[in-house]
């Protein structure tokens, strides 16, 4: 029994490394925030707010007062809602969920690598690289859906590749089950489904292509129709606003055809790991192109991976705490690197240790840099959220419960308080989201929607409303600012407090003065309320 367990030492070793890193990260976060565990992304609290309102008030919305389609991961938010409903609302549940999913992803990577790499030390090296470059530890710390998405994406590509190249029905059935779960976890998963369905169509396997497409799109369609029944759009505002996609199918096609070369160059120039994955993927297909090898599951996986990278770069986001492209990085390391090794193995029967080491070092450079960066930034990011969004949430909770407040970062505030928010960015408010999608937000619009909503206070980033928007309404009175040092994850290091009506200015000033002593010591306060407080003394 002991020997059988030891045969899997690469998996056990990586799980041990992952566990140690997670313990260190959690301790690092708590030490940065002087006690409370704070997630390094404000978006985590959007999931938590919706789940809280759904479980406690039966309202699927970022606030308890009305429906809002503000989550780009309906399945993750639903799972969190179930936990909140069965147990209780707890800040730690999102972290528990990612910590539960991460070992499953690591085990899946391990099983996949054992099919292509036979030497244990090589399996250990590539497995560790995939986990750290993901970066799975930093993603687990966010308490968001990206680890689950990477798990489903890898499982789908593996089973779909085998279904395309082998006759066993089991692989297709698994892909059929995984596809809707993957799409419900992240909408970018549609890219993989489109590619696989296209491959089935090219192979003239019409029924399988249709069944797979329908299965994958079923949860998306169900959620979309439910959202429309509440007066919202088919796709969540979080997808529509953040993706920046054109509003019509015609414009979307033009966007792809005309902008793909520019977008590819621009984005790939910033993300060396995606360039390397694409380049290595094309190299690994050489045996297929020159006729020395026949099409098999490995080649199918690499081809699907290349297509996913190109589609994601063109139509989706990446960056912003490593999370959006994480599934591509994990998939690329697991599928593409063994393909490159196989290319050399084909020419030498069995690649020796030295060439493998050279290949591994050459391939892993950008990914090691990515993993080191993620581990360094994660605790600092949590401190940023603690010093900015968490303090905003405490302020609104203490002084404006149940009142209307305009914001452009809404996660922590909506989760920790009972605010009636107006989301000027558009994730939680339909009208402002539509204006942003149509490139029509302006000073007049901002003034009109805040007056219509009866909002008296705004807590926003000034920089978010400059440029073509033209700034915030002049009649707003700026009462003060909070600035955080060493910002790594917040959209801006300075958040401003405005009285949108003259009568609200004195109250806002008084509230900021009263709240000031409870702010973390690193937060820099500036503005009229500071000067007023000093004069009063």
Among 117-121, 265-269, 496-500, the range scoring the smallest mean pLDDT is 265-269
Percent helix / strand / coil, the chain, rounded to 5: 70, 5, 25
Residue predicted with more confidence, 384 or 287: 384
Among 15-29, 103-117, 215-229, 336-350, the range scoring the smallest mean pLDDT is 336-350
**Angle between helix 169-185 and 146-165 (nearest 10):** 150
Burial class of residue 531, CB neighbours in 10 A (0-12, 13-18, 19+): exposed
Residue predicted with more confidence, 436 or 22: 22
pLDDT, mean of residues 128-142:
94
> Is the pLDDT reported for residue 528 higher than 90?
no
Give ∠ CA 57-61-64 in degrees, rounded to 5.
40
**What is the predicted pLDDT for the residue at 290?**
66
pLDDT, mean of residues 257-271:
54
> Is the pLDDT reported for residue 185 higher than 50?
yes
> Could you read off the pLDDT of 79-97 as tens digits, one per residue?
999 999 999 999 999 999 9
Confidence of residue 338 (pLDDT cuts 50, 70, 90): confident
Among 184-198, 285-299, 335-349, the range scoring the smallest mean pLDDT is 335-349
Confidence of residue 524 (pLDDT cuts 50, 70, 90): very high
> Is the pLDDT reported for residue 436 higher than 80?
no
The domain segmentation of the chain, as residue ranges, is: 6-141+242-378, 388-536
Cβ(154)–Cβ(330) under 8 Å? Answer: yes
**Rounded CA separation 367/273 (Å):** 6
Mean pLDDT estimate for the chain: 86
Peptide bond into 135 cis (omega under 30): yes
pLDDT, mean of residues 256-275:
59
> Could you read off the pLDDT of 48-80 as tens digits, one per residue?
999 999 999 999 999 999 999 999 999 999 999
> Could you read off the pLDDT of 471-487 as tens digits, one per residue?
788 889 999 999 999 99
Confidence of residue 315 (pLDDT cuts 50, 70, 90): confident
> Is the pLDDT reported for residue 270 higher than 80?
no
> Could you read off the pLDDT of 156-177 as tens digits, one per residue?
999 999 999 887 889 999 999 9
pLDDT, mean of residues 227-250:
77
**Rounded CA separation 214/216 (Å):** 5
Q: In percent, how much of the chain has pLDDT > 70?
A: 86
């Amino acid at each position: 029994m002991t020997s059988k367990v030891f045969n899997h030492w690469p998996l056990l070793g990586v799980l041990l490394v992952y566990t140690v890193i997670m313990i260190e990260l959690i301790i690092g976060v708590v030490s940065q925030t002087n006690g409370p565990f704070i997630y390094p992304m404000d978006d985590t609290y959007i999931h938590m707010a919706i789940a809280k309102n759904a479980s406690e008030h039966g309202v699927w919305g970022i606030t308890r007062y009305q429906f809002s389609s503000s989550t780009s991961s309906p399945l993750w938010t639903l799972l969190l809602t179930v936990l909140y409903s069965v147990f209780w609302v707890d800040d730690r549940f999102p972290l528990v969920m990612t910590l539960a999913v991460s070992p499953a992803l690591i085990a899946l990577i391990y099983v996949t690598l054992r099919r292509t790499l036979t030497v244990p030390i090589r399996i250990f090296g590539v497995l560790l690289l995939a986990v750290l470059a993901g970066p799975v530890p930093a993603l687990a710390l966010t308490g968001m859906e990206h680890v689950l998405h990477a798990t489903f994406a890898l499982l789908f590509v593996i089973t779909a590749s085998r279904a395309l190249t082998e006759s066993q029905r089991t692989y297709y059935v698994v892909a059929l089950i995984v596809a809707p779960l993957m799409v419900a976890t992240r909408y970018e998963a549609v890219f993989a489904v489109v590619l696989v369905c296209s491959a089935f169509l090219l192979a003239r396997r019409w029924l399988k292509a249709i069944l797979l497409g329908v299965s994958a799109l079923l949860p998306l369609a169900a959620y979309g129709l439910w959202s429309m029944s509440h007066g919202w759009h088919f796709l969540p505002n979080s997808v529509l606003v953040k993706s920046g996609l054109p509003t019509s199918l015609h414009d979307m096609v033009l966007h792809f055809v005309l902008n793909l070369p520019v977008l590819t160059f621009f984005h790939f120039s910033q993300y060396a790991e995606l360039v390397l994955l694409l380049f290595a993927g094309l190299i690994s297909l050489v045996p297929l192109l020159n006729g020395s090898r026949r099409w098999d599951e490995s080649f199918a996986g690499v081809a699907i991976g290349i297509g996913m990278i190109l589609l994601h770069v063109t139509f989706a986001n990446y960056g912003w705490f490593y999370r959006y492209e994480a599934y591509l990085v994990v998939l690329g390391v697991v599928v593409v690197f063994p393909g490159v090794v196989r290319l050399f193995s084909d020419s030498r029967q069995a690649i020796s240790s030295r060439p493998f080491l050279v290949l591994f070092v050459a391939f892993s450079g950008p990914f090691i840099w990515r993993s080191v960066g993620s581990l360094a930034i994660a605790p600092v990011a949590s401190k940023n959220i603690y010093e900015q969004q968490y303090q905003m949430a405490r302020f609104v909770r203490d002084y404006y419960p149940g009142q209307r407040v305009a914001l452009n970062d809404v996660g922590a505030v909506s989760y920790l308080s009972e605010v009636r928010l107006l989301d000027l960015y558009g994730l939680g408010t339909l009208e402002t989201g539509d204006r942003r999608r149509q490139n029509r937000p302006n000073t007049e619009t901002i003034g009109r929607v805040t007056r219509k909503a009866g909002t008296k206070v705004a807590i926003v980033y000034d920089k978010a409303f400059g440029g073509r928007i033209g700034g915030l309404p002049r009649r707003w009175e700026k009462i003060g600012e909070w600035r955080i040092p060493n910002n790594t994850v917040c959209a801006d290091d300075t958040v401003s407090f405005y009285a949108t009506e003259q009568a609200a200015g004195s109250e806002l000033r008084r509230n900021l003065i009263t709240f000031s002593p409870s702010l973390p010591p690193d937060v820099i306060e500036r503005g009229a309320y500071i000067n007023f407080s000093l004069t009063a003394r």
